[in-house]
Amino acid sequence: MDKIITEANFKEAFLAYGFDDVKSCERYGSGHINDTFLLIENSGDKVILQRMNTMVFKDPEMLMGNVLKVTDFLKTSIEKEGGDPKRETMSVRLTKDKKPFFKDSDDNYWRVYEFIDKATGYDSVKRPKDFYESAYAFGKFQRYLASFDASRLGEVIKDFHNTPKRYERFLQVVKEDVKGRAKTCQKEIDFVNARAKAMSEATDMLKNGELPLRVTHNDTKLNNVLIDDKTGMGLCVIDLDTVMPGLSINDFGDSIRFGANTAVEDEPDVSKVSLSLELFECYAEGFLKGCGGKLTDNELKMLPVGAKLMTLECGMRFLTDYLEGDVYFNTKYADHNLVRCRTQFALVKDIEDKMDKCHEIIKKVSNH
């Protein structure tokens, strides 16, 4: 569990960044990893102040190095296409000492982003158009980064979307059962084990050279893209912590997991959970358009499998965290991770049942 943030910690961070006239500094957004605050100065200036989660991101210096490289690169690409780099990508605010983060005397790592105003990160799809726009933005993000040299990026979390490795770790955690919780979730453990063979479907293809390694976002939830309140267009891809070499089908898949579910990620009533084929199609259209026709035939073919695998992997990660005593994801109540896991598994089952239909949709959308 993360240690608390004291008044003194905030004061040090404010000083490091030169915020000497703070009007308010409140928790903001619904991310599961970092501690995010919206800081407003009396002048009306707004910034996002975050305490980075150093349990998850063990090398914050490398992480911020990645973020700076990626945002600098994106700024140039956005300018070239006549966009507004101040709103269409993140801007890191430096400390008074010109550093991209600040470490306080309790070893908390802080960073500041310019606040992107009049734009919203949604926790669920209110209008299909927003989902289409988010897809276009994530696809475009990938298109921009297609010419970024991946070897410049550090691997911030090793094997982040290596599903078979995640499965190995899951098996270990079930075996150790440090909190004695395995007996409360045997059905869910069985659900994972029944899919042992499926875990390496995508990673095997990567190994065999059948799927290309690209620079991907790796955390493409709907609330990690801001939609412009005025134009309704996908404005800015945020949460760049996990930008690393990865698979396009995982970026596609994670968005489907979160946004094409007819229920929210932590819906306790699993009868409400299903894959909306309408939203699946809508996302596929936006994503393929955003990628600019750059996906290979194998990638296109594997997009629905990406959706299944990202949902299975995420459910397995929630279950792993529940078994370990809720040490990774921010939780709001005792069984939150177990509830999230059940939602994911109900969605996996529905994706499996609708797999043929998903393939048909991709064929139609990509004209293959």
36 binds, among Mg ion, ligand ADP, ligand GN1, none (CB under 5 to 8 A by kind): ligand ADP
Tell me the C-alpha distance between 136 and 132, whole Å: 6
**Which one-letter amino acid corresponds to residue 252?**
F
Instruction: Give the side-chain half-sphere CA count within 13 A for 244.
Output: 18
Determine which helix (DSSP H) or strand (DSSP E) holds 164, and give its type and residue range. helix 163-176
Q: How far is the CB of 224 from ligand GN1 (least distance, A)?
A: 5
Q: Which of 5, 88, 34 has the alpha carbon at shortest distance from 242?
A: 34
Judged by CB under 5 A, the chain residues 214 through 233 that form the site for Mg ion are 224
Nearest CB to ligand ADP, comparing residues 218 and 344 = 218
Residues that bind ligand GN1 (CB under 6 A): 31-33, 56, 219, 221, 224, 239, 241-242, 265, 314
Interaction of residue 265 with ligand ADP, rule CB under 6 A: no
Site for ligand ADP in 4-63 (CB under 6 A): 28-29, 31-34, 36, 48
For the segment 80-109, give every residue that binds ligand ADP (CB under 6 A).
Answer: 90
Based on its alpha-carbon atoms, the radius of gyration of the chain, rounded to whole angstroms, reads 20
The H or E element containing residue 46 is strand 46-51
DSSP string, 69-127: HHHHHHHHHHHHTT--HHHHS--EEPPTTS-S-EE-TT--EEEEEE---SEE--SS-SS
Task: Pick one of ligand ADP, ligand GN1, Mg ion, none as the site partner of residue 273 (Cβ within 5 to 8 A by kind).
Answer: none
Q: Is 211 exposed, middle or buried (0-12, 13-18, 19+ CB in 10 A)?
A: buried
Q: State which residue, 90 or 284, has the beta carbon closest to ligand ADP.
A: 90
How far, in Å, CA of 216 to CA of 201, rounded? 19
Distance in Å, CB of 115 to ligand ADP, minimum: 5
- The CB-of-114 to Mg ion minimum distance in angstroms stands at 17
Q: How far is the CB of 314 from ligand ADP (least distance, A)?
A: 14
In this structure, which amino acid lies at residue 368? H
CA distances from 225 to 221, 249, 350 (A): 7, 18, 26
Give the helix, strand, coil percentages of the chain, each rounded to 5. Answer: 50, 15, 35
What is d(CA 251, CA 242) in angstroms, rounded to the nearest whole number?
Answer: 11
Q: Of the two residues 29 and 212, which places its CB atom closer to ligand GN1 in the complex?
A: 29
Q: Is 238 in the site for ligand ADP (CB under 6 A)?
A: yes
Within residues 15-34, the interface with Mg ion by CB under 5 A covers: 31
Q: Which does 56 bind (CB under 5 to 8 A by kind): Mg ion, ligand GN1, ligand ADP, none?
A: ligand GN1
Which x/- pattern over 276-305 shows residues binding Mg ion (rule: CB under 5 A)?
A: ------------------------------
* Strand 92-93 with 109-114, pairing: antiparallel
Q: Which is nearer to ligand GN1, 133 or 265 (CB)?
A: 265
Judged by CB under 6 A, does residue 239 bind ligand ADP?
A: yes
Which token pair is 222? 């709907």
**Does residue number 122 form part of the binding site for ligand ADP (CB under 6 A)?**
no
**CB-based contacts of 276: which residues, under 8 Å, 6+ apart?**
260, 261, 262
Cβ distance to ligand ADP smaller for residue 3 or 363: 3
Q: Taking the complex as a whole, how short is the minimal distance between the CB of residue 36 and ligand ADP, in angstroms?
A: 4
Least distance from ligand GN1 to the Cβ atom of residue 128, Å:
21
Give me the residues that bind ligand ADP (CB under 6 A), please: 28-29, 31-34, 36, 48, 90, 113, 115-116, 121, 223-224, 238-239, 241
